[in-house]
Amino acid sequence: MTFGDDDGPGMLGDYVRGFPGEDGRWYLVDRPPTEVKVYDESGDFLHRFGRGGEGPGEFSLIRSVLPLEDGIVAVLDDPSGLKFFDAAGNLLREARLPFPPTSNGVVYADGLGMVIAANAPTPERTGLPLHVVDLDDGSVDLSFGSLTGEYRLSDVGGASRVLAEAAPGTVWAARLYEYRVELWTPDGLERSLVRDVPWFPATTLSTLAHGWAERPNTILSGVATSGSQMWVKLRVADEHWESASDENPATPDLDRFFDTIIEVIDLDESRVIGRVRLDEDYSNFVGPGMIGRTAVTPAGSVRYEVYRISTTTPGSGQVTTVPGFIIDRYSLIQIGIPDTAEERDHVPDTVHSARDSVAAVDCGPARTRETDHVVCRHSACSPGHRGASF
């Protein structure tokens, strides 16, 4: 599927991100990220809403769009805006978050609600990267997601996480600068998927790249799940990144500066069952087995292209697809599954899985706890309160 027109209000700017709604509509944000453009499931432009500014229904810098039920759309805006619109783009209400949101750090999780990954600068929530947000006023109902209750100085990215849907009451949270995807509940860490591969060393403050003139760090930039499969998107340096940087030091061609690696993980077996490296920079997952990218036509018009990811079983010709999508409208990215031991040697296929009993901190007016040397500092706690052990 392709979005974007050559002229008129359906034209797109650079660096487009797409967010599909359950009603078949697609919500696109480009540059400058101060409005949302709405398209139907055939790629036809419908309308747009929002504009740059600080007034009602206006945006400073859109971080993410989260389509909800009944055509309602939540838009997260810097520095701390949470704004809700109806299907026609009319502003319903606005709320203020106690922290700035990030681009990939929001998900609507069954059994929890809206979960946002962010650094909440209040004493009772410091060190807890995941926050369940009240949709009425933007306040935080619950914070969790840390084993220690504090960030290490070496944690590049701090509280930033890439979030994805999981079973009810849980959420997948991936760190940006290391191959680690964690399954969290408010009661603690359920599972960790850790890939130890030479092409993705964990980034520290001393190895963090600064600017386009340095080789870019590998980043885990996307996670999507469906059933027993997980798709992981990684942004890695293109082999021509130096020439791309030399030609345009201010804003290099991202397709020449970055490559994209997509891996498919079988969650039941904790194994990588497919992998592909693409010579372009893909922007974001738009659902399980679906990914988007910004492209430019020969005439110079910008398009947002959506691709379907599928895996093939060697020798069978069978293609595994994700249910719930109209697949014939999408171009296909095909991921082969290694068939021989020699081929598998080129794809490290073990994901270390550990189910931990260590609890995270759940800190709220109704639930105050101290777990694993983490003292609950919520104001509702009585002096000396130790809570329950999990």
- Indicate the domain borders of the chain: 209-337
> Given CA atoms 158, 189, 373, 202 in this order, what sign does their dihedral have?
negative
Q: How far apart are CA 154 and CA 136, in angstroms?
A: 36
Q: How far apart are CA 84 and CA 57, in angstroms?
A: 9
Residue 35 confidence (pLDDT) above 90: yes
| pLDDT number for residue 376 | 26
Share of the chain above pLDDT 70, in %: 77
Q: Edge to edge, what strands does the sheet with 45-49 contain?
A: 17-20, 26-29, 36-39, 45-49
User: Averaged over 199-223, what is the pLDDT?
Assistant: 89
Element (H, E) at 259: strand 258-266
Residue 143 confidence (pLDDT) above 80: yes
β-strand partners of 184: 171, 189
Q: Edge to edge, what strands does the sheet with 162-165 contain?
A: 162-165, 171-174, 180-185, 188-194, 352-354
Residue 356 confidence (pLDDT) above 60: no
Q: How far apart are CA 173 and CA 182, in angstroms?
A: 5
| pLDDT number for residue 335 | 54
pLDDT tens, 105-123?
999 999 999 999 988 777 6
Residue 280 confidence (pLDDT) above 70: yes
User: Averaged over 286-312, what is the pLDDT?
Assistant: 86
User: Averaged over 196-221, what is the pLDDT?
Assistant: 88
| pLDDT number for residue 309 | 77
3-state helix, strand, coil in the chain (%, to 5): 5, 40, 55
Instruction: Place 326 in a pLDDT band, splitting at 50, 70 and 90.
Output: very low
Contact 132, 387 (CB under 8 A): no
Contact 374, 361 (CB under 8 A): yes
**Of residues 97 and 156, which shows the higher confidence score?**
97
CA angle in degrees (0–180, nearest 5) for 280-286-287 = 125
**Of residues 224 and 272, which shows the higher confidence score?**
224
User: Averaged over 218-241, what is the pLDDT?
Assistant: 91
| pLDDT number for residue 301 | 94
Residue 137 confidence (pLDDT) above 50: yes
Among the residue ranges 20-34, 88-102, 177-191, 304-318, the one predicted with the least confidence is 304-318
Among the residue ranges 69-73, 74-78, 134-138, 203-207, the one predicted with the least confidence is 203-207
Half-sphere exposure of 112 (CA within 13 A, CB side): 29
Residue 240 is which amino acid? H
Mean of per-residue pLDDT scores for the chain? 78
Contact 170, 186 (CB under 8 A): no
Among the residue ranges 212-226, 263-277, 338-352, the one predicted with the least confidence is 338-352
Instruction: Place 91 in a pLDDT band, splitting at 50, 70 and 90.
Output: very high
Instruction: Place 204 in a pLDDT band, splitting at 50, 70 and 90.
Output: confident
pLDDT tens, 360-385?
333 333 322 222 222 222 223 222 22
DSSP for 64-129, please give it.
Answer: EEEE-GGG-EEEEEETTEEEEE-TT--EEEEEE-SS---SS-EEEETTTEEEEE----STTTTT--
Residue 17 confidence (pLDDT) above 90: yes
Among the residue ranges 4-18, 251-265, 374-388, the one predicted with the least confidence is 374-388
Place of tokens 């386009």: 212
Q: How far apart are CA 330 and CA 322, in angstroms?
A: 12
Say if residue 32 is preceded by a cis peptide, omega within 30 of 0: yes
Among the residue ranges 83-97, 237-251, 254-268, the one predicted with the least confidence is 237-251
Question: Of 360, 382, 381, nearest to 371 (Cα)?
Answer: 360
Query: What φ, ψ does residue 70 adopt, rounded to 5°?
Result: 60, 30
Q: How far apart are CA 271 and CA 275, in angstroms?
A: 11
Q: How far apart are CA 209 and CA 203, in angstroms?
A: 9
| pLDDT number for residue 159 | 78
| pLDDT number for residue 170 | 96
Instruction: Place 16 in a pLDDT band, splitting at 50, 70 and 90.
Output: very high
| pLDDT number for residue 256 | 85
